[in-house]
Amino acid sequence: MAYLELKHVTKRFGDLVANDDVSLTVEKGHIHALLGENGAGKSTLMNILYGLYTPTAGEIWLNGKKLDIRDPKQAIAAGIGMVHQHFMLIPALTVIENVMLGYKEISHFRLNLNQAAQRFTALAEKFNMPISPWEKVENLTIGQQQRLEILKALFRNSKLLILDEPTAVLTPQETDTLFTLLHQLTDEGLTIIFITHKLGEVMDICDQCTVLRQGRVAAANLPISEIHSHEQLAELMVGKSIDLVTHKAPAHPGDTVLEVRDLHYTDREKVSRLNGLSFQVRAGEIVGVAGVDGNGQSELVRCILGLLQPESGAVYVENADVTGKHPKEILAHGVAHIPEDRYKMAMIKEMSVNENLILMSYDKEPYATHGVLHWKEITRRNEELCKKYEVKTPSVAEQAGRLSGGNQQKFVVGRELDRAAKLIIAVYPDRGLDIGTTKYIQSRLVEERDRGAAVLLLSTELDEILELSDTIMVLYKGRIMAQIPQKEAQRETIGLLMAGVQVSGSAAVTEGGTVC
Amino acid sequence: MEHKLTGAKLGRLVDKIYFPLASILASFLIAGAVFALMGFDPVAAFGGLLSGSLGNLNAWGETLNKATPVILTGLSYAIAKRCGVVNLGAEGQVYIGALCAVLAGTELNLPAPIHIPVTLLAAFVGGALFGTLPAIMKNRFGASELITTIMFNYVALYFVHYMIAGPIKDMESGSNFAQSKQMLETAQFPRLLAGTRLHAGIIVALLALLFYQFFLFHTTRGYEMRVIGLNSTAGRCAGMNVKSNTLLSMFLAGGFAGLGGACELMGVQFRIMENAFNGFGFDGVAVALLGGNASGGIVLSGLLFGALKSGANKMQMKSGVPTATIYMLQGLIIVFVVGKKMFDYHRLRKADSKHPAKEAA
Amino acid sequence: MEDIASFLSSLIRMSTPLLIAGLGLVFSANAGIVNIGTEGFMLLGALMGCAGSYWTGSAFAGAVIAMVATMVFSAVFAFFTLNMQADQTVVGAAVNIFASGLTITLNRIVFDTTNGVPVIETFNAMPIPGLSSIPVVGVLFNQSLVCYLAFLAVPVVWYIMKKTHIGLEVRSVGENPRASDTLGINILATRWWTILLSGLLSGLAGAYMSMGQLSFFTEGMVSGKGFMALAVVVLGCYSPVGVMGASLIFGAGMALQYRLQAANTGIPYQIITMLPYVITLVAVCGFIRKSRAPAATAVAYTKE
């Protein structure tokens, strides 16, 4: 008998059908992969199982009993634990406070943190995940936070653990450690649902796999033995056979466009975020920055763009010293920026597409003269831009927030690339997008490179970095661990460098095997 | 931009009008019930309110006169809010603006065509500079304007009380009240309509509205302010200077409020007395909120609140309902406007229409 | 010595309403609520306290009536900000405007002020035997019951916030409501009760102003003290002990104001009256950097 059974689960948000008649079964002690593109409905389905959403229709059976889960409390009581993609931790509180939040098995009124800390430490040691219960969560690394999330679930005696894209934030080696842990957990009798969009992971660790496509089941409970290739999975996921490789000709680098010299930055809490970075990006090349999130990526970008003041060091754009200059001045040197979080940094969702498209050039001719905007000219140009960059919108007067995520990112990318910039800084440019849009944006970046732009690409997806970059730079704790030409780059080596392990020159070229 | 009245646009227009009207209606119903509970006759009360505000030509004039300062304080709240600053300090800015106007209007000797603009300018600059103080504190120290603007209201109030009881006290009229001298005739607004007290202040208010609309939607600086008000991080990434925009928005906010004080002074009161402008600031908050911080909405809601204020006396006369109850009405209208989900007809049509944006990607 | 004693006594009386309202706000502010309606709640509390005392002949019955009335009133704030997800500042401003109209209206209906101010029962001093006869500092032990309770509540609130599930839940709801939701914490319920509690205590604070500091209600008498209570919470870094410290500082400013007015210094009284407001301005500019608001402050929570 199956341990967990979802029967005909449907979830509608207004007109949008996030899950349409989804059925799947999970065996006890198995690791079951839930595979699908961004927006395929994986997270929605698991949030239903965890009680965060109420299904529109369908049934959930756990261990032979029908569950009626209305909120997470009931899910937790039923032995379900979930590690969300964005960790559900409270940075300002201590580890043990995070663990105890909502856990009233010991006492309903008093917190009894000392007693809880003892139990927590014992549990952490058993699974070889030492974390101090008294540390503040904001001081933990991303990897530690993930382990804390797993411990939080184990502390509550979870028998079914849902992991939502757990490897997105890890180095390849950390991923291996996680996989070892997951096997240890299944040995203890736990059942695991593993949400991912990475094909390799499914083959590496899972026993069974269910593929979701546009809210529907494309393949249910596929035993891993029946999966023969990445392409087979990709086709199930996307619905048509797709080219997984972005085609790109060899680079012909020209003059140096961006030069960073010995950059140091220390934040308000006196934590050193950048420790003497030096590198160059030349015209006609893509330099990819690999690294686990939080190792100085966003500080580096902000220092280059003038959004943060570096402590020391210098930034040159085309030999002009722009260190500490106002962002506006730096952008005027021909710098384009596709930021990490478009909702926060690149668009105003309440404004129209038209108003959003002039965000970077509203005060330049022909958009404005003497401080007065020329809406007719602006509208005409923006309509062209939408056509050119395949932005699907009823009109440029449409509210930006009403467009789909892919179209939003397209107009952001279009706005930045249409200025024929000399330097393009792209930070996670395809985060949260489907494969089609991702490929579109990637090939646009390559086109810009071929036009002669210098591209600095930051991504947490190692595959993307390896595929697009001409040179790969590994960032760890605000330091550059290595700069490696694409031809010589090895997944393993880069993974070690991302974890701060220095690799000697010869070791970098051991083992064959292709990138990606 | 797009000029065709598409279906979607029509829908949005209905949205814009439906919610405020539903709010006003609900507020009057509740207020009527409260009046009845307190033992008053709501029909007589609202009848008095209506005839006092719109019953005859004179009443119309009064309504426009009362609308003038609250439209300006409404603009004060609105322009700051557009830039993401909550200006609860219009009251203090009104007082300081009025003080500057009184100084210009009593101490300078100029012909009317020059004296009136100079007096208005003095009020604008005075209010504007006073308005920048909380902006400076916010920029420099991160001090929340929610607290500082309120504190400055009291500082301004007591400072003006000190001035009219001392340095600029009217010694000539022989009265022992704390009050300033009367504005010279050259600094007083002309009447616009015979048989009414309607003064030229309404023209100042309308010009300010035009400026507001043009500045926000047709200038680069106004665009910057709106971007920053909606998403300051995006503004910063685009190279905009958040602090200078904060400063400018509060400068303009203070200036609008200062003009509000000046108009009331130059058209109605002619001298400052104790507590003469109390409530003007928060009237403005109500006007801006009901008007959705849009110029057209501010005119309409300004006229509504102007009508409430001008009709309040007659309401008290006819039904005994104290004039202060219009503040209850204002408070009710605001909560209904911002709590508009209550009247959300979309929600009545289709339930559970929210969906997470990231899933829609 | 006489001066010091009377200053201390005045300091305690001036600090008490800020402390009471501030302790209530510790709960709601930690849960992520910015409630500028506190001003209006205190105003209503001040009136309802007097009205209650006038009707029942007992100051404490008056205080209870004030607390119940403001708690009911704060339910309106809670409903619109939480259930309707309206902007907290805007609803707070509306509450203040409404309260100013309501209190003026009720004041004229309940009390026939044309014949002068009626005499009502107020909070009497409750000297603590022995302690109250100590020279100078004895005045600290010659206050009303409400004062003692307010200061005794500080360690209680501290314990609740730091050592119990209730406090942890309140803090986590203010920091990260979504994370709290995934652990089965009811965000709406938590925010509801913190607003009701803070409304109730604002009512008591207002009642203390009209029946402990003064002996009757006057229109607009709260005059910014509600906003000062908000400032006290920010300056006190959202902790009850900090709130007590900040209340005492502001109380000292107000006590100084009254001493200066009485001392006939030649400074115009209007200028002296500004003192507490100026102190608040200086305080929020000088010390606010050290204080960190809960991460989800003023953000409505939408359950997806």
Do the Cβ atoms of B335 and C289 come within 8 Å? Answer: no
**Cβ within 8 Å, pair A73-C184:** yes
Structural domain contains residue C100: yes
Tell me: pLDDT of B4 over 50: no
Give the model's confidence band at A244: pLDDT under 50 very low, under 70 low, under 90 confident, else very high.
low
Tokens representing A220?
């249910």
Instruction: Sheet with A4-13: list strands edge to edge.
Output: A16-26, A4-13, A57-62, A65-67
CB C288 within 8 A of CB C234: yes
Distance, CA of A135 to CA of A125 (rounded, Å): 16
Q: Which fold has domain B38-338?
A: ABC transporter involved in vitamin B12 uptake, BtuC (1.10.3470)
Specify the DSSP class assigned to residue B169: B
Domain spans of chain A? 4-238, 245-334+422-516, 340-420
Report the run of H or E that residue A34 belongs to, with start and end. Answer: strand A31-35
Q: Which CATH superfamily is domain A245-334+422-516 in?
A: P-loop containing nucleotide triphosphate hydrolases (3.40.50.300)
With CB atoms and an 8 Å threshold, state whether C179 touches A89.
yes
Kindly state whether residue C302 falls inside one of the protein's structural domains.
no
Residues 54-113 of A with CB under 8 A from C: 71-74, 76, 82, 84, 87-93, 97, 100-104, 107-111
Q: How many CB atoms lie within 10 A of CB C174?
A: 28
DSSP result, C175-213: H-HHHHHHTT--HHHHHHHHHHHHHHHHHHHHHHIIIII
Contact partners for chain C, using 3 or more CB pairs closer than 8 A, are: A, B
Q: From 3.20.20.80, 3.60.10.10, 3.40.50.620, 3.40.50.300, which CATH number describes the A4-238 domain? A: 3.40.50.300
Tell me what ipTM this predicted complex has. Answer: 0.92
A90-142 confidence digits (pLDDT tens): 999 999 999 999 998 888 899 989 999 999 999 999 998 889 999 999 989 88
Tell if the CB–CB gap between C163 and A91 is shorter than 8 Å: no
pTM of the model: 0.91
Q: Is C234 a member of any domain?
A: yes
Q: What is the DSSP string of A179-220?
A: HHHHHHHHHTT-EEEEEES-HHHHHHH-SEEEEEETTEEEEE
pLDDT on residue A505: 52
The span from the first CA to the last CA of chain C, in angstroms, equals 63
Beta-bridge mates of residue A473 = A289, A483
Chain C residue with the nearest C-alpha to that of B34: C102
**How many B-C residue pairs are in contact by the CB < 8 A criterion?**
152
Q: Which of A71, A110, A111 sits opposite C184 (nearest CB)?
A: A71
- Chain C residues inside the 8 Å CB shell of A73: 184
pLDDT at C113: 66
Q: Give me the residue label for tokens 């401080």.
A: A371
**Eight-state DSSP code of residue C141:** G
Residues of C in contact with A97 (CB under 8 A): 168, 172
**Does B357 sit within 8 Å of A43, measured CB to CB?**
no
Whether the predicted pLDDT of A242 surpasses 90: no
Name the domain count of chain C. 1
Whether B67 and B204 have beta carbons less than 8 Å apart is answered as: no
**Pairing state of beta strands A256-266 and A312-317?**
antiparallel
Tell me if C95 and B331 make a contact (CB, 8 A cut-off): yes
CATH number of the structural domain spanning residue C229: 1.10.3470
- Residue-wise pLDDT tens for chain C (304 aa)? 678 898 999 999 999 999 999 999 999 999 999 999 999 999 999 999 999 999 999 999 999 999 999 999 999 999 999 999 999 999 999 999 999 999 999 998 888 766 677 888 999 888 999 888 888 888 889 899 999 999 999 999 999 999 999 999 999 999 999 999 999 999 999 999 999 999 999 999 999 999 999 989 999 999 999 999 999 999 999 999 999 999 999 999 999 998 898 888 888 989 999 999 999 999 999 876 677 889 888 888 877 5
Which residue of B231, B244, B293 to mutate against A (max A Cβ within 10 Å)?
Answer: B231
Q: Which of C166, C176, C304 shows the shortest C-beta gap to A90?
A: C176
- pLDDT at residue A433 in the model: 81
The verdict on whether omega for the bond into residue A339 sits within 30 degrees of 0, i.e. cis, is no
Q: Which residues of A touch B12 (CB under 8 A)?
A: none
Nearest CA distance, C68 vs chain B (angstrom): 19
Q: With an 8 Å Cβ cutoff, are C98 and B159 in contact?
A: no
Range(s) of the domain holding residue C211:
2-290
Average pLDDT value for residue range B155-181: 89
Of B1, B355, B360, the CB nearest to A379: B1
Query: Which pLDDT score, from 0 to 100, does residue A328 have?
Result: 93
| pLDDT tens digits for range A431-474 | 878 778 888 899 999 999 999 999 999 988 888 899 899 999 99
pLDDT in tens, A69-97: 888 999 999 999 999 988 999 999 999 99
What percentage of chain A exceeds 70 in pLDDT? Answer: 96
Residue among C33, C89, C267, C284 with most chain B CBs within 10 A, to mutate: C284
- Report the pLDDT averaged over residues B78-95: 97
pLDDT of residue C289: 67
Give mean pLDDT, residues A135-160: 93
Alpha-carbon span B2 to B9, nearest angstrom: 10
Minimal Cα distance from C104: which residue of B?
Answer: B324
Chain B's closest residue to C287, CA to CA, is B141
- Strands of the sheet containing A80-83, edge to edge, are A80-83, A160-164, A191-196, A31-35, A208-213, A216-223
Residue B354: pLDDT over 90: no
What pLDDT is attached to residue A261?
95
Please give the average per-residue pLDDT across B301-320, as a whole number. Answer: 92
Q: Which amino acid is at A124?
A: A
Chains near A with 3+ CB pairs less than 8 A apart are B, C
What are B221-279's pLDDT values in tens digits? Answer: 999 999 999 999 999 999 999 999 999 999 999 999 999 999 999 999 999 999 999 99
A4-238 matches A245-334+422-516 in fold: yes
d(CA C7, CA B76): 41
Q: How far apart are CA C257 and CA C271, in angstroms?
A: 10
Query: Cβ contacts (< 8 Å) between C100 and chain B: which residues?
Result: 279, 282, 324, 327
User: CB distance A373–B220 less than 8 Å?
Assistant: yes
- Residue A515 — pLDDT band, cuts 50, 70, 90? very low
pLDDT for B344 equals 65
- Closest chain A residue to B3 measured between Cα atoms? A397
Question: What residue has token string 């003041």?
Answer: A309
Give the distance from residue C42's alpha carbon to the nearest chain A alpha carbon, in angstroms.
31
User: Is residue B73 less than 8 Å (CB to CB) from chain C?
Assistant: no
Q: Searching chain B, which residue's CA lies closest to the CA of residue C232?
A: B147
CB contact under 8 A, C268 and B166: yes
Which chain C residues are within 8 Å of A89, Cβ to Cβ?
176, 179
3-state secondary structure at position C164: strand
Out of A286-290, A418-422, A498-502, B40-44, which region has the weakest mean confidence (pLDDT)?
A498-502
- Cβ contact, residue pair B359, A347, below 8 Å: no
Residue B342 in contact with partner chain C when CB distance is under 8 A: yes
Q: Is residue C36 part of a domain?
A: yes
The secondary structure of residue A363, as a DSSP letter, is T
C97 with B327: Cβ contact below 8 A: yes
8 Å CB contact of B223 and A362:
yes
C38-56 and C2-30 helices cross at what angle (nearest 10)? 120
Token pair for residue C39? 């001003």
Residue among B219, B231, B358 whose CB faces A348 most closely: B231
> Which tens digit of pLDDT belongs to each residue from A312-348?
999 999 999 999 899 999 999 999 999 988 888 999 9
Q: How far is A396 from chain B (nearest CA, A)?
A: 8
CB C180 within 8 A of CB C173: yes
- Cβ-nearest to C165 among A52, A82, A109: A109
